[in-house]
A and B are shown apart, each in its own frame.
Chain A
Amino acid sequence: MIASQIRSMWLVFKHLFRKNVTVQYPDQKPYLSPRYRGRIVLTRDPNGDERCVACNLCAVACPPDCISLQKTEDADGRWRPEYFRINFSRCIMCGLCEDACPTYAIQLTPDFEMCEYDRQNMVYEKEDLLINGPGKYHDYSFYQIAGKAIAGKDKGEAQNESEPINVKSLNL
């Protein structure tokens, strides 16, 4: 019994010469991978237009219900959120909104330092969320791929899309 106690004391003592594992945070920043789930942003497509089509899938997927948005439609036929609001005091950074998003609009970033003295300041509006870039997907543009017709791009003109075929015109 005594031998095992002395052995465990020796083993603990040897740790004196080990390297500390602590990352002293404000002085030393830990490496966060690009896929780290931190602050949420709304991205733009390569043309600089908002990617979000206000489909509400993120709001549905969100476990703590912290996303709130309202759809509106532009004159050119694009869907767009009228407002887009994330309450970060509720957000649990789970990334389910990012998974749910069909247009790569909503993305999580490696930034997590968003402390506020006032709880109300944790509510981010669309202007706070929007960034000026495409985020993790540089070339993706929803309206150039999807079949939805907008002004300047009719049906069948999207990438990898053929002209629509009128089924009734097929004389079989």
Chain B
Amino acid sequence: MSASVWIILLNVFGVLIVTVVLAAILTWGERRLLGFWQDRPGPNRVGKFGTLQVFADMIKLFFKEDFTPKFADIPVFILAPTVVMATMLIAFAVVPISPNIGVTDLNIGLLFVLAMSSIAVYSVILGGYASNNKYALLGSLRAAAQTVSYEVFMGLSLMGVVMLSGSFNLREIVNAQAEGWFIVPQFLGFFIFFIAGIAESRRTPFDLPEAEHELTAGFHTEYSGMKFGMFFVGEYLAVILISALITTLFLGGWHGPILPPFIWFCLKTALLICLFILLRAAIPRPRYDQLMKFGWKVMLPLALLNLLATAGILLWTA
């Protein structure tokens, strides 16, 4: 095989393995950070600083009974957790990590990511439906409504970026930010996308589909063992994906002084992941009708306004 094939394979498997490993490490990192923010150490006993906690959890999950309820729709029940992990991993394919790292340069990369994150919702809906359980169904209904309403302005908030860079290709969007990051002209877009991203990845404050206090565990009430693990890792993959996307679209991707491009990308993404965790530590969950009202009556008009203003200014200056 020629050298270029090797480089492609290295990119593909590198991105795949690194993201999955990162998601696994994040299960420990999140608990550790949450601990610090709550004046306690978090998991720190397995290995140095608790770094081996991930393996302990994995062993536990593998050896747990992988229970499939008799009343469940079994093929769908098994399929559901794989969907979220698969779509999230596929979405990483178009994220440009540095000038020469990245799986593919899709000319509709942004649309591809949005599509993949939409398909991921099927996982929740199918999981909740197939569980044949009231709490799970309520959780998945919430997930469906929440995702549909937040997806609308998630896409709209990005159109400003697309207009400024004139491309759907994520690599070209990053290149367009060489002079200045899009967070400055598109701050509103960044803000809206960030909130929509939290709702997309179903993290606290928008974790109503799995609100523990109301719905036991929401859509994954009936899941155990590694199937639950896949939902779990899927959630963390979503966090990493949204953080990587915000870095790419608004924070100039790999652009930055002194440090090499790869380090800049990782640094920005890591900071955003920490911000996600800080949100979980600090912000309480809204009521469900408040969530919908906020989405449709505040965020959607704001996104439209942002779109209109960006388009107007672009036309004015053109």
Interface residues of chain A, those whose CB is within 8 Å of chain B, are 5, 8-9, 11-13, 15-16, 18-22, 24
Q: Is the CB of B278 within 8 A of A13?
A: yes
The size of the chain B interface, using a CB distance under 8 A, is 11
The secondary structure that dominates the A interface is: helix
- Add 6 more A-B contacts to A9-B278, A12-B37, A19-B39 (CB < 8 A): A8-B283, A12-B278, A16-B37, A20-B41, A21-B39, A22-B41
Please measure, in the bound complex, the distance between the C-alpha atom of A167 and the C-alpha atom of B41, giving whole angstroms. Answer: 74
Q: Is the CB of A20 within 8 A of B39?
A: yes
Shortest CB-to-CB span from A1 to chain B, Å, is 10
Shortest CB-to-CB span from B278 to chain A, Å, is 6
Contacts of B39 in A (CB 8 A): 15, 18-22
Q: Given A20-B41, A22-B41, A24-B41, verify A9-B36 contact (CB < 8 Å).
A: no
Contacts of B37 in A (CB 8 A): 12-13, 15-16
Q: Is B164 an interface residue (CB 8 A)?
A: no
Q: Is the CB of B283 within 8 A of A21?
A: no
Chain B 258-288, CB-CB to A under 8 Å as 1, else 0, gives 0000000000000000000011011100000
Q: Is B213 an interface residue (CB 8 A)?
A: no
Q: Is the CB of A15 within 8 A of B41?
A: no
Shortest CB-to-CB span from A13 to chain B, Å, is 6
Contacts of B278 in A (CB 8 A): 9, 12-13
9 chain-A/chain-B pairs, Cβ below 8 angstroms: A5-B282, A12-B37, A13-B278, A15-B36, A15-B38, A16-B36, A20-B40, A22-B40, A22-B41
10 closest A-B pairs (Cβ-Cβ)?
A: A12-B282, A9-B282, A22-B40, A15-B37, A21-B39, A8-B282, A12-B281, A12-B37, A20-B41, A16-B36
Q: Which of B13-48 contact A (CB under 8 A)?
A: 36-41
Q: Which of B188-208 contact A (CB under 8 A)?
A: none
Contacts of A18 in B (CB 8 A): 39
Contacts of B38 in A (CB 8 A): 15
Q: Is the CB of B41 within 8 A of A5?
A: no
Shortest CB-to-CB span from A24 to chain B, Å, is 7
Closest residue of B by beta carbon distance from A12: B282
Please measure, in the bound complex, the distance between the C-alpha atom of A13 and the C-alpha atom of B38, giving whole angstroms. Answer: 9
Please measure, in the bound complex, the distance between the C-alpha atom of A21 and the C-alpha atom of B40, giving whole angstroms. Answer: 6
Q: Which of B34-71 contact A (CB under 8 A)?
A: 36-41
Q: Select which of A9, A13, A22 is within 8 A of B283 by beta carbon.
A: A9
Q: Select which of B36, B279, B282 is within 8 A of A11 by beta carbon.
A: B282
Closest residue of B by beta carbon distance from A6: B282
Contacts of A11 in B (CB 8 A): 282
Please measure, in the bound complex, the distance between the C-alpha atom of A116 and the C-alpha atom of B39, giving whole angstroms. Answer: 32
Contacts of B283 in A (CB 8 A): 5, 8-9
